[in-house]
Amino acid sequence: MAVTRIGLAGLAVMGQNLALNIAEKGFPISVYNRTTSKVDETVQGAKVEGNLPVYGFHEPASFVNSIQKPRVVIMLHTWSRVTVLLMEEMSGTRTLRGGRRQWRSVASSILGMVFPEEREGARNGPSLMPGGSFEAYKYIEDILLKVAAQVPDSGPCVTYIGKGGSGNFVKMVHNGIEYGDMQLISEAYDVLKSVGKLTNSELQQVFSEWNKGELLSFLIEITADIFSIKDDQGSGHLVDKVLDKTGMKGTGKWTVQQAAELSVAAPTIEASLDSRFLSGLKDERVEAAKVFQGDFSSNLPVDKAQLIEDVRQALYASKICSYAQGMNIIKAKSMEKGWSLNLGELARIWKGGCIIRAIFLDRIKKAYDRNSDLANLLVDPEFAQEIMDRQAAWRRVVSPCHQQWRQHPRHVGESRVHVHEEAQGNVKEPPICEFCDGGLMATHSNEMVMARRPDQTKTMVGVRPLLPISPLAKG
């Protein structure tokens, strides 16, 4: 006899917490896992949290038959023999295919939707990006609207993305933007730590202050938090003990591959991926450090307050670029596949329940609301003005033409070191290097920025390789 509205198969940490979230919102749910102890564990957890309506089943047939028709099942495990067995049992079933799947894998009869891979988002409300069968979406829309993250000024963080694999594609690019965002924050940290010589206490204060303004976001918030955490197994701060080696789960790489296939420039996201590649080569880097020796530090005086403000402005401008690149990839794929995706709506549902949630997503939504055919976020009048307003600070952070820096850092792949001559007379901006034509965010980033030659008759694009890996780029 059917007892529930929806079922969930796959009870790892994400699955367990998502089931509890759904039950807490008033929807009885059936759960199944091949390892039956996970089923019992989930049911017991539901009892502890207030006898939530979670019903466990040890056999696929009894699990499927417990769900009312047309059956809705969330499947949160890799495609396997168990998946096939469940599909065979589910005649007249609408399936939500979760997990980290490539966008191509979503069939027309399935609603593809990637759920969060951490406890907090699954339990308290994720940003949901369903794509595929519109009929299936409408059938469970009432559930998704309540389960999703709730943002007071813009509603539930869920919307029907579009046909086919559009939902999974959008989540994939979301993760690519996240790669870029994390790398930019790491580089901002690196500049403040290496050039400004800020202590962890000062860094905590700086990032906390930044999180009160235009940089307000989840990533800035947790960056501020980490600087205050002491090592509970030793002395000093935990951030200084983090191994500079990271890995990845694939979505950033897939995003860059799609950008290449679509001929869309995504230098920030690409550079962040390169940094992860280099970070993973820890043993090689240790050996290389024995060959490439030298003291590249500088004892020149630095105006710390000015550097902090310049880095703040440069970071904000660079984050705009990272989001713009992601939106360009989504727009290009939407045009190729005929998905007709609403970019403003994507910005809205990213405001809560996801890693890249940030206050300036409001303004991205408004930009696309003003002009849904916007060629690039950077040419929206408001964002264009913000980029121009921050260009001087951006260049002061990254340009070797900074008035206090005489000797140019050696370029990776270049054998020469050259010296910039300081401009004569009163200048409102730092002198411009003929060789570099400006710089990028941040010290070794791969972002693009316009730079004028001294005659101001040409616009060039400067690119410098990205090297450093810092606290956040470890996920």
Q: Kindly list the catalytic residues.
A: 171, 178
Q: What is the distance, to the nearest Å, from the Cα of residue 261 to the centroid of all Cα atoms in its chain?
A: 21
Alpha-carbon gap, residue 197 to 201, rounded angstroms: 11
For Cα atoms 90, 138, 358, give the angle at the middle one, nearest 5 degrees. 110
Task: Report how far apart the first and last C-alpha atoms of the chain are (Å, whole number).
Answer: 44
CA distance 189 to 348: 28
Tokens of 156: 């539930």
- Spatial neighbors of 4 by CB under 8 A, at least 6 apart, are 27, 28, 29, 30, 53, 55, 66, 67, 68
Per DSSP, the three-state class of 150 is strand
Nearest-angstrom CA–CA distance, 61 and 86: 8
Which residues, other chains included, contact 310 with Cβ-Cβ below 8 Å and sequence gap of 6+?
Answer: 393, 394, 396, 397
Structure tokens at 368: 């696309």
Q: Compute the distance between CA of residue 127 and CA of residue 116 in angstroms, rounded to an integer.
A: 8
* Lookup: tokens for 63: 């699990």
**Using an 8 Å Cβ cutoff, are 390 and 313 in contact?**
yes
- Calpha distance 188→173 (Å, rounded): 23
